[in-house]
Amino acid sequence: MSTIGVIGTGYVGLVSGTCFSEVGHQVICCDIDEAKIAKLQRAEIPIYEPGLEELVKRNTNLNRLSFSSDIASVIHRSDVIFIAVGTPMSPSGEADLSYVRAAAAAIGQSIRDYKVIVTKSTVPVGTGRLVQEIIRSNQSDPSIPFDVASNPEFLREGSAVHDCMNMERAVIGATSDRAAEIIARLHDPFRTTIFKTSLESAEMIKYAANTFLAAKISFINAIANICERVGADVTEVAKGMGLDSRIGNKFLQAGIGYGGSCFPKDTHALKHIADVSGYDFKLLEAVIETNDKQRMLVIEKLEKAIGNLTDKKIAVLGLAFKPNTNDVREAPSLTLIPKLLEKGARVQAYDPIAVEEARCYLPDSVVYTQDLYDAVRDCDACVILTEWKEVVTMELDHIRELLRKPVIIDGRNCFALERMRQEGFEYYSIGRPEVLAPNAVLSV
């Protein structure tokens, strides 16, 4: 087994490093944030990810996983070094590579023998060559050999540990066959499909995959908007589409659009790559525009249901961009709650995990509750933004009793229409007929 150094302890670095240790490798995760490293050394996990805490504790106790803020020492001790730092979106839409550049410079200043340096972060095409140049320019002894590789991650927040331990494929682009084989052997315990390609193709595969999935979401949301106008039910349409093996049923769940740390950033980054390369990527522009507009449907449906929002009390269920994570980056809640407040509404919000993260971004006037039913109590309507288990299993008869009006705006299509009619709700979802009033027929 190899000794692996991981620079960066965010979602990608921490999960990937921990899973590599779980299959037997010696892993050292490092970060310049000393306070964060100190917490990890105490097995305090800075992110919420199901199963991660248990794996960190087990492999730390087995001495297969450790944490350090001494990046130079980690570089010296490692055979393979993964760069897993953040690449946030810059104002222009392109990926900000400042953390990648800094990591590459640190590696160049510290390597004493042959290393394989692997970009795990999502980076634009050409970044591997840039990393190679930065390392060379920072070497005190240019004769020391190294190779650069790209091994993009394909982890979904909320199921990242499962995705890593059960990875569908490992994409490997490298500057030499030797390096590609070393990275391939690291993945042997995962028993996954290995796909070796060029450095540039590996970098593009990540963007192409994420952008395609984002396009699939925007497409089904556009279909949902048409369904509402013609009386069709998008859940039935999506099921019928998904039965076609060429299409498949994944990412065909209509709702209020994608969010999180990947799809918004990666679609904009690929758009910037296209612009710089001289290609007018109108399809991708439409994907982004469709997603931006989709969120506003919640406001439109809410105003249709209860009229002017001034001084209306609205319950918002869900702040994270998806279930099983505390990540609120690009979450619909961060767009919609300020809009509700701007229109004069009062907001009571509930999320089982992400409240503290949301507080950093939302206005102080938002009232947070620790109990879902307290959030709904005495509200004029309830808005569902995240399909948490606590939300999809809530007692609807109790919710109806707590609301001033039995109105639910469901941005995630959590409930069957017939059930909501039987429960006596006025129910608005995405791409499906409305349940207009207790015991009323569905509109078409």
The pLDDT tens digits for 134-181 are 999 999 999 999 999 999 999 999 999 999 999 999 999 999 999 999
Among residues 273, 293, 313, the one where a domain terminates is 293
On whether both 191 and 218 belong to a single domain, the answer is: no
Of 243, 276, 293, the last residue of a domain is 293
- Token pair, residue 240, equals 């019928």
The greatest distance separating any two alpha carbons of the chain, rounded to the nearest whole angstrom, comes to: 79
Nearest to 319 by CA among 310, 330, 328: 328
Give the mean model confidence (pLDDT) for residues 51-58: 96
**13 and 140 together in one domain:** yes
- Domain final residue pick, 257, 272, 293: 293
Extract the annotated binding site. Answer: 31, 36, 87, 122, 154-157, 206, 251-255, 259, 265, 322, 329
60 and 142, same structural domain?
A: yes
Which phi and psi angles does 221 have, rounded to 5°?
A: -70, -35
Could you tell me the sign of the dihedral formed by the alpha carbons of 72, 74, 80, 81, in that order? negative
Q: Verify whether residue 19 is a known catalytic residue.
A: no
My answer on whether 102 and 143 are in the same domain is yes
The binding site for substrate consists of 154-157, 206, 251-255, 259, 322
Q: Is the dihedral of CA 321, 326, 327, 330 positive or negative?
A: positive
Same domain, 386 and 251: no
Closest CA to 40 of 8, 78, 88, 71: 8
Residues listed for the chain: 444
Residues 237-268 have pLDDT tens digits of: 999 999 999 999 999 999 999 999 899 999 99
Identify whether the C-beta of residue 433 lies closer than 8 Å to the C-beta of residue 442. yes
- Determine phi and psi for 251, rounding to 5 degrees: 65, 30
Tokens of 37: 């490293």
Binding residues for NAD(+): 31, 36, 87, 122, 157, 265, 329
Domain assignment present for residue 380? The answer is yes
152/222 same-domain check: no
User: How many whole angstroms separate alpha carbon 67 and alpha carbon 41?
Assistant: 6
**From the CB of residue 283, how many other CB atoms can be counted at a distance below 10 Å?**
11
pLDDT 10s digits, 299-336: 999 999 999 999 999 999 999 999 999 999 999 999 99
Q: Select which of 164, 227, 262, 414 is catalytic.
A: 262
Do 244 and 176 lie in one domain? The reply is no
- For residue 67, the enclosing domain spans 3-197
pLDDT tens string 181-219: 999 999 999 999 999 999 999 999 999 999 999 999 999
Distance from C-alpha of 336 to C-alpha of 334, rounded to nearest angstrom: 6
Distance from C-alpha of 7 to C-alpha of 9, rounded to nearest angstrom: 7
In a 3-state reduction of DSSP, which class is residue 70? coil
Q: What is the CATH number of the domain that holds 284?
A: 1.10.1040.10
**Residues 130 and 255 reside in one and the same domain:** no
Number of domains in the chain: 3
Which of the 8 DSSP states describes residue 93?
S
Q: What single letter denotes the amino acid at residue 159?
A: S
- Within a domain: residue 433? no
Query: How does DSSP assign 227-296, residue by residue?
Result: HHHHT--HHHHHHHHHTSTTT-STT---SS---TTTHHHHHHHHHHHHHHHT---HHHHHHHHHHHHHTT
Same domain, 317 and 384: yes
Decide if pLDDT at 438 tops 80: no
Residue 187's alpha-carbon distances to 25, 170, 174, 357, in angstroms, are 10, 8, 15, 34
Structure tokens at 227: 């369904």
Statement to judge: residues 124 and 7 lie in one domain: yes
CA distances from 152 to 13, 123, 208 (A): 11, 9, 12
- Over the stretch 22-43, which tens digit does the pLDDT of each residue have? 999 999 999 999 999 999 999 9
Same domain, 304 and 398: yes
Question: How confident is the model over 113-137, as a mean pLDDT?
Answer: 96
Model pLDDT, residue 2: 85
Q: What is the mean pLDDT of the chain?
A: 95
Within this chain, do residues 103 and 170 fall inside the same structural domain, yes or no? Answer: yes
Say if pTM beats, i.e. exceeds, 0.75.
yes
Average pLDDT over residues 114-122: 96
Q: From the CB of residue 72, how many other CB atoms can be counted at a distance below 10 Å?
A: 14
CA 391 from centroid of its chain's CA atoms: 20
DSSP conformation letters of 383-429: EE-S--HHHHTS-HHHHHHHSSS-EEEETT--S-HHHHHHHT-EEE-
Within 10 Å of residue 438's Cβ, how many Cβ atoms?
Answer: 14
Q: What is the CATH number of the domain that holds 165?
A: 3.40.50.720
Residue at 167 is within a domain: yes
